[in-house]
Structure 1
Amino acid sequence: MKLCLLFLFTTLMSAFPSAVLADKIVKESIISHGKKRTYYLFVPKTKQAEKPAPLVVLLHGSGRNGLSLVEKWQELAKKESIILAGPDALDSKGWRIPEDGPEFVYELIETLKAKYPINSRRIYLFGHSAGAGQALYLSLLESEYFAATAVHAGALGEQEDDQYILRAKRKIPISIFVGTNDQLFPLPVVRATRDALNDRGFNAELTEIKGHTHWYYDRAAEINRSAWEFLKKYELDQEPKYELHRFEK
């Protein structure tokens, strides 16, 4: 009898993973380039389970993990029927290219698309701090794969502006949020990123939050809501295109 119940449970897990995981944050993993890569997943309960849902990929700050962002987005995701994925950087100190993407993030997303009803034209990026920089780089490298990007407290490096901006095949919508008292990413640095993007034909938005510091977590609900209001306006007009990049070692 126990074996029968175990078999039934395993079968249900395979056939209806979203039903089993609904409204719970779970830690899962994939193998990418021979390495086990962990991520945190949230699949909301929805009255229209058959309707494909948007996916927001959340890139964490230094010294943290994907859970730190997924937890902060969870309540909003319940209300808006958003699937969340928060991958862990290979080194928690920060994100690196190509070790942490684009290919790893692409493999993660394609794995999720095979399991859950995801709208492939509504896949978004959100990042905080070090994750914000990574989100900006990935959105430029894969501008025809992601629909839009929003970041908090991050910027492009001055020497890397052209390297990444000029590789973008689509003027992907980008929104940047930063506190006026952010000591790690001062306003002039973040404004320079916005200007570099807009000088090359992008329509990058910058929201300066008065009196706010680098600390995302105490204002996460407000920031996430504003980020989602921006992101949800955009949808790819055709199926996403992933570009395989080669990077010098």
Structure 2
Amino acid sequence: MREAAQQILSKGMHLHRPAAQPSMRDINPPPPNAAPSTPEPETTHARGQAPNPATHPAEFAQDMLNRMGIKLDLQANLDRAIDLGSLHHAPASEPLPEGAQFIRGSYSNHAGMRNYKLYIPSSYHGHAMPLLVMLHGCTQNPDDFAAGTQMNQVAEEMGCFVVYPEQPANANHSKCWNWFNAIDQQRGQGEPSIIAGIAQQIIEGYPVNERQVYVAGLSAGGAMAVIVGTLYPELFAAVGVHSGLPFASAQDLPSALTAMKRGVSKAAKAGNGSQPIIVFHGDSDTTVNPRNGEQVMAQRLHHHRGARPSVQSGAVPNGYSYTQTTHTTADGTPLGEHWVVHGAGHAWSGGSSSGSYTDAKGPDASREMLRFFRTVS
């Protein structure tokens, strides 16, 4: 999640609101008396006065960091923080199995519009199947994320729909999901409402098994998966988080930078304990502190004081070793799994080099997530 520095270029931007167009039922009605925000006119700020975040985003971000005592020169570190080497062209679409489809769609509600791509496996013949919502990381898109995670290939084997919502640059300059904005941590508002709406649109358009709807993501997408799962527990049966952060770990850019760098000392007691979760994190991740993975799991287990952990270790041939901790209730019901990949950085474990932010030397996170989801629902 290299979004931290890039946010200075998008702070204060408003979501593009397209003209009204037909869509499926809106499960997230706008709050009463909601009114569209109006951009402030550009003005220069007086000496000693905080810069206007809408008109001077870079200066505002630097000023906030200085006030918090965080010594970080955003401008000097911008290129390194963004990791320009990762901004490559989207990979060519991989050949699909005969009968399979990877189609485009869109969804809009009061919070905005998002495009998505839906994978329909070749085994689909009108019968009910599970649905997985996959949220990409910063600078990525549906094709890149699908190629890197190889989730479509696993879904083809297991018989599962996979939908990839796309975050556009006009919503976030680095195409990051805005997990750190307060408005995007509320049910019925912001990006969570759009993502939940996309899932509902697929459910209404295809025979989805509504007891087997899941959400997962990487980095900023992983943080947003936690948020969406927490806000819509009746819609999502389980959550998958790779290199993400716990719910409400930040409320703005400065607190996001702090959470990413240091982790959170204590996760907010949010969500509910009925939703199983699987977490992957590399212990050499220098972009999102691995402590965040621990707090994601701790947050979900807060409602299960009597959870019983069991630990087992393993290793990928010619790859990384890992520690898998499984948490269950007293009667053996699975609550969650926490995979720590030793030596891995900020990358999808077991992924393909055909996509960005992947590391083939780790255990196959895509396969393990779908296996876990099938086990718990």
Bin for the TM-score computed over the shorter chain: 0.7 to 0.9
Match of 1:80 among 158, 170, 180: 158
1:108 equivalent to 2:205? Answer no
For residues 160 and 136 of structure 1, what CA distance do their matches in structure 2 show? 16
1:203-247 Cα deviation digits (max 9, x unpaired): 342110122111222338811011111111122xxxxxxxxxxxx
Gaps of 5+ in 2: 1-97, 250-263, 308-334, 349-357
Aligned residues between the structures: 210
Q: Give me the whole-angstrom Cα distance separating, in 1, the residues matched to 2:99 and 2:241.
A: 26
In the superposition, the TM-score normalised over structure 2's length comes to: 0.51
Secondary structure of the 2:364 match is helix
Per-residue CA deviations over 1:125-163 (Å, capped at 9, x if unaligned) read 11100000010111111122211111111121248932x
Letter in 1 for 2:105: E
Identity, % of aligned positions: 21
> What SS is found at the alignment partner of 1:56?
strand
TM-score using structure 1 length: 0.76
Judge conservation of contact 1:58–1:126 (CA < 8 Å) in 2. Answer: yes
Kept after mapping to 1: 8 A contact 2:214/2:239: yes
What amino acid maps onto 1:24 in structure 2? Q
Counterpart for residue 23 of structure 1: 100
2:117–2:164 CA contact under 8 A, matched in 1: yes
Query: For the pair shown, which has the larger CA radius of gyration, 1 or 2?
Result: 2
Give the aligned CA root-mean-square deviation in angstroms. Answer: 2.4
Q: In structure 1, what is the equivalent of residue 364 of structure 2?
A: 222
> In the alignment, residue 216 of structure 2 is paired with which amino acid?
F
CA distance in 1, matches of 2:110, 2:237: 26
Q: Structure 1 55/212 Cα, relative in aligned 2: closer, same or farther at 3 Å?
A: same
Aligned counterpart, 2:274: 171
Question: 1:144–1:169: 8 Å Cα contact kept in structure 2?
Answer: no
- Mapped contact 1:180–1:208 kept (Cα < 8 A): yes
**Change in CA separation of 1:152 and 1:200 when aligned onto 2, cut-off 3 Å:** same
1:93 aligns with 2:176: yes
- Amino acid corresponding to residue 93 of structure 1 in structure 2: C
Give structure 1 stretches of 5+ with no counterpart.
1-20, 236-249
Deviates more, 1:83-92 or 1:32-41: 32-41
In structure 2, the residue matched to 1:195 is 298
Q: Does 1:39 align with 2:116?
A: yes
Letter in 1 for 2:115: T
Distance in 2 of aligned mates of 1:106 and 1:160: 27
Query: 2:283 aligned with 1:180, yes or no?
Result: yes
In structure 1, the residue matched to 2:329 is none
Q: 1:187 to 1:37 in 2, by over 3 A?
A: closer
Secondary structure of 1:134's counterpart equals helix
Bigger helix fraction: 1
| 1:22 Cα deviation after fit | 4.7
Alpha-carbon separation, structure 1, partners of 2:369 and 2:265: 27
Between the aligned partners of 1:142 and 1:170, the Cα distance in structure 2 is 13
Tell whether the 8 Å contact from 1:59 to 1:87 is kept in structure 2 after alignment: yes
Which of 224, 229, 233 is the equivalent residue of 1:134?
224
SS in 1 for 2:286: coil
Structure 1 letter corresponding to 2:145: L
How much has 1:120 moved relative to structure 2?
0.8
| Cα distance, 1:191 vs structure 2 | 1.6
- Equivalent-residue separation in structure 1 for 2:231 and 2:265 (angstroms): 16
For the 8 Å contact 1:70–1:84, the answer to whether it is kept is: no
Matches within 5 A, 1:233-244: 233-235=375-377
Higher alpha-carbon deviation: 114-123 or 89-98: 89-98
